Chains A and B, each alone.
Chain A
Amino acid sequence: MNQFNTFLASFKNLTTAGYLFYGLGLITLISAISVVTAKNPIHSVLALIFTFFCLTGHYMLLNAQFLAIVNIIVYAGAIMVLFLFAIMFLNLKEEDEEAKTNVTKMAAVIVGGVLMVLLLSIFNYAPVGTYNPASFDAKTGLVERLGIVLYSDYILPFELASILFLVAMVGAVMLGKREAGDPHF
Chain B
Amino acid sequence: MQPNDVAVNIPEVIQQIPLNYYLIFSTALFVIGIIGVLTRRNAIIIFMSIELMLNAVNTLLIAFSSYRSDPTGQVFVFFIMAVAAAEVSVGLAIIVMIYRNIRTIDVGVLNKLKW
Chain A contacts to B: CB under 8 angstroms: 10, 13-18, 20-21, 25, 28-29, 32-33, 35-36, 41, 44-45, 48, 51-52, 55, 58-59, 61-64, 66-67, 70-71, 74-75, 78-79, 82-83, 86-87, 89-90, 92, 96-100, 104-105, 108-109, 111-113, 115-116, 119-120, 123-124, 126, 128-138, 140-141, 145-146, 148-150, 153-154, 157-158, 161, 164-165, 167-169, 171-176, 178, 182-183, 185
Contact = CB atoms under 8 A, between A and B. Distances in A.
B24 interface: yes
A89 to B, nearest CB: 7
B66 A44 contact: no
B103 to A, nearest CB: 8
Contact of A41 (B18, B21, B45): B45
Task: Please name the 9 residue pairs, one residue from A and one from B, whose CB atoms are nearest each other, closest first.
Answer: A108-B38, A17-B12, A36-B36, A168-B86, A112-B35, A176-B93, A137-B69, A116-B31, A18-B16
Given A136-B10, A140-B66, A149-B71, A98 B38 contact: no
